[in-house]
Amino acid sequence: MEKETTIYDIAKLLNLSPATVSRALNDHPAINSNTKRIITATATEMGYRSNTFASNLRRQRTNTIGVIVPRLNSNFMSTVLAGMEKVANKSSYNLIISQSLESVKKEVANAKTMFNSRVDGLLVSVAYDTEKTDHFDAFTKKGVPLLFFDRVLDHKQGTSIVIDNVKAGYEATAHLIGQGCRRIMHVTGSLKRNVYIDRLEGYRLALLEAGLPYEEELIRMTDLSEEAGIEAASHIQSMAGRPDGLFIANDFCAVSCMSALKRAGLSIPSDIAVVGFNNDPVSTVIEPNLTTIDYPGEKMGEVAAQSLINHLNGTMNIQTTNRIVLHSELIVRESSLKSAIF
Amino acid sequence: MEKETTIYDIAKLLNLSPATVSRALNDHPAINSNTKRIITATATEMGYRSNTFASNLRRQRTNTIGVIVPRLNSNFMSTVLAGMEKVANKSSYNLIISQSLESVKKEVANAKTMFNSRVDGLLVSVAYDTEKTDHFDAFTKKGVPLLFFDRVLDHKQGTSIVIDNVKAGYEATAHLIGQGCRRIMHVTGSLKRNVYIDRLEGYRLALLEAGLPYEEELIRMTDLSEEAGIEAASHIQSMAGRPDGLFIANDFCAVSCMSALKRAGLSIPSDIAVVGFNNDPVSTVIEPNLTTIDYPGEKMGEVAAQSLINHLNGTMNIQTTNRIVLHSELIVRESSLKSAIF
DNA sequence: TTGTAGGCGTTATCAG
DNA sequence: CTGATAACGCCTACAA
């Protein structure tokens, strides 16, 4: 375990002052380009690596971005994170990632940790049951930029990156109606979350436009888990007026529901047409392939990280833009095609 | 943007020395418990948060663990990461995560960044084509513990966490043989990686034991992507002596291959029995459900992180244990059951 | 273009 | 049990 070389060591060796070395290493304009060359050369030769803490301590910034997500291990989220990592890495920012596991309590704890780690900025997608935004106030109070993505909150100072969930929900439902469905069930998540309430709103609008009634009993709030899909399926079987269309706000749940319906002898789409959400890889594995909304996860991660970084570098002000909407799209597959026009 | 409170502010207010405040805040045993109480109370009241950099600078450690993975957005990896995050969070370590995107070049760059970030330890699963281990030498030279998981390297000082891939490969193959398969094709990844070469070895052993010939033409090295599965399927159809069994080293690839085979009119398992690897959620979506090897991703992440942390805390020495093997298990489903004994 | 000097906030050592 | 003091390594006024 050798000792670390510091700018002092380099300075001593070259008979220069540490200040000059520091400046040279940071490519300061006021340093003779020749001295610069010599300094950087000996620096690498001596195996010098800049001490981030000393630098951070001095500069009061960390080059670190905090990320809080509900879960790491969902296809969507890991794709988002992949996008963020790409961008952050390119701009030499580090990512500190933590998961709330869908619990506000843990989200609050995570926020606190991030705060103490003094992240330069924070990217958040909130948990299932988060309602208040207090735990993020500390950040805005200290001027740490806050950016919500996908599951966003109405925070006075937070910018958000989303897709148009109303439109997506509308398209999904309108498509089912276009296929002749008249009783469409909607399986969704917590209506505290924009993503779900907005999709529901889109659903409602589509029904309204088509002159179809909005019935409470056709709306199921669940946690959109695998089990929820199975339960939804058995509920459907027990219903008096069985729905002929099904719009589930998450592919993974939709797929488990479809499997259960098929096991129960229903045929898709003829008995019941199904549309999911996310364009998860499983949607092309299930048979019939699942119609869904394509959701730009990686792009969302990239945009979120890039916006934050631009803001931090002063290239762009996030506080002025307070909402960025990404494009999403209905992808029609067999699970919803009643009219067999291929 | 208010000014930060420091231990000096607290000290001044309470007429104590900063040293005492520091000790109290760190729960030092030699401090009067009453003084401690008062100090912590006013600290929270003043909105004090410890400055990690100052602390790190002083202590020469970061409480940060670096993680380098091939990709963030695979079901397996994100599950591993979820496990790591849980453990790290509990022990108040931060995780800095980066992905190599299966390229050595990026892996080297990531390692460098991690090194400069002065992570306390490093968890690595190597890229598709990594061969040399030089880029990790800097860590061991500085005494930074290095732990490989899943895709490991033979590094003199690195500990590794794996499953017994030989055994798993053996079981998968032996199971197919037990179902009456006599020509078993094996689709695998880069043989530079322990996970794939070991599974191949297991495959070989099972054939050997059953007195079946090992044929080069039945081995396909691919990148195990979705496309690779489709190509494998079309290759199978073009073969003179069509295989009656198929062992694919990755569920995702296996599933796409199965779909393609089915589209081509082959029936599974009667024409060809299939076994995958990973127990990915898709394995229970595809029809018939895919027989696979259950692979403890979350556990692997937990064990990896915990071992590293224990080592860092001096609770356990990683250098002495240089290999931890987790349990894996064959899960039999319909894709491989030729004999219909359910 | 380069050097001097002070401080960022903590903690470890030594002394009381 | 508490205090004084000196680092940790870097950056930046200010001075030369």
pLDDT tens-digit profile of B229-258? Answer: 999 999 999 998 899 999 999 999 999 999
Give pLDDT, residue B2.
54
User: Cα B47 from chain centroid?
Assistant: 39
Give the residue on B whose Cα is nearest the Cα of A113. Answer: B92
DSSP assignments along B185-224, one per residue: EEEE--TTSHHHHHHHHHHHHHHHHHT----GGGEEE---
Residue type, position B186, single letter = H
| ∠ Cα B275 B280 B281 (to 5°) | 115
Residue B178 and residue B157 share a domain: no
Residue A168: CA atoms inside 13 Å, Cβ hemisphere, count? Answer: 32
**Total number of domains in chain A:** 3
Encode pLDDT of B3-33 as tens digits: 688 998 888 888 888 889 999 988 888 888 8
**How far is CA A271 from each of CA A99, A180, A218, A264, rounded to the nearest angstrom?**
39, 11, 16, 12
Given a cut of 50, whether residue B125 has pLDDT beyond it is yes
* CATH code of residue A12: 1.10.260.40
pLDDT per residue as tens digits for the range B36-65: 898 888 888 888 888 888 888 888 888 889
Q: How far apart are CA A243 and CA B161, in angstroms?
A: 50
Distances (CA, A) of B93 to A98, A180, B52, B64, B243: 11, 55, 12, 5, 50
A237 and A91, same domain (yes or no): no
Please state, in angstroms and rounded to a whole number, the distance separating the CA atoms of residues B205 and A219: 55
Q: Which nucleotide is nearest to B6 (CA to C1')?
A: C9
Please give, rounded to a whole number of angstroms, the shortest distance from the CA of A98 to a CA of chain B.
6
Cα gap A267→B253, rounded to integer Å: 27
Distances (CA, A) of B241 to A136, B183, B215, B217, B260: 64, 8, 12, 10, 19
Same domain, A302 and A155: yes
Q: What is the pLDDT of residue A125?
A: 97
Check whether residue B268 and residue B318 sit in a common domain.
no
B5: DSSP letter: P
Residue whose Cα is closest to the C1' of C5: A19
Within a domain: residue B58?
A: no
Shared domain for B271 and B182, answered yes or no, is yes
* CB B54 within 8 Å of CB B60: no
B132, exposed or middle or buried, with CB in 10 Å at 0-12, 13-18, 19+? exposed
Candidates A52, A110, A226; nearest CB to B117: A52
Which strand (E) or helix (H) includes residue A146? Answer: strand A146-149
Q: Give the distance between the most distant pair of CA atoms in chain A.
A: 90
As given in the structure block, the two tokens for residue B28 are: 């030092």
Q: Is the pLDDT of residue B222 over 90?
A: yes
Residues in chain B, how many?
A: 342
B90 or A271: which leads in pLDDT: A271
Residues A136 and A225 in one domain: no
Q: What is the pTM of this model?
A: 0.88
d(CA B105, CA B129): 10
Same domain? A214 vs A290: yes
Per-residue confidence at B340, pLDDT binned at 50, 70, 90? low
Cβ neighbors of B227 (< 8 A, separation 6 or more) are: B256
Q: Report chain C positions within 7 A of protein CB atoms.
A: 1-5, 7-13
Same domain, A91 and A156: yes
What is chain B's mean pLDDT, rounded? 91
Instruction: Print the domain residue range for B289.
Output: 165-295+330-336
**Could you tell me which chain B residue has the CA closest to the CA of A117?**
B52
Same domain? For A177 and A141 the reply is no
pLDDT at A84: 96
Q: CA nearest A278: which of A123, A154, A163?
A: A163
CATH number at residue A123: 3.40.50.2300
In angstroms, the CA of B314 and the C1' of C14 are apart by 27
Q: Which of residues 56-75 of B have CB within 7 Å of strand D? A: 57-58, 60
Q: Are residues A152 and A240 in the same domain?
A: no
Structural contact between residues A203 and A173, judged by C-beta atoms closer than 8 angstroms: yes
Mean pLDDT of successive 10-residue segments in chain A (342 residues)?
Answer: 78 89 88 89 86 86 91 92 92 88 92 86 94 88 89 84 97 97 96 96 97 96 95 94 95 96 94 96 94 96 94 79 91 89 46
Q: How far is the CA of B303 from the C1' of D9 (A)?
A: 35
C-alpha B153: how far from chain center: 13
Pairing state of beta strands B292-294 and B329-331? antiparallel
The reply to whether A186 and A277 lie within a common domain is: yes
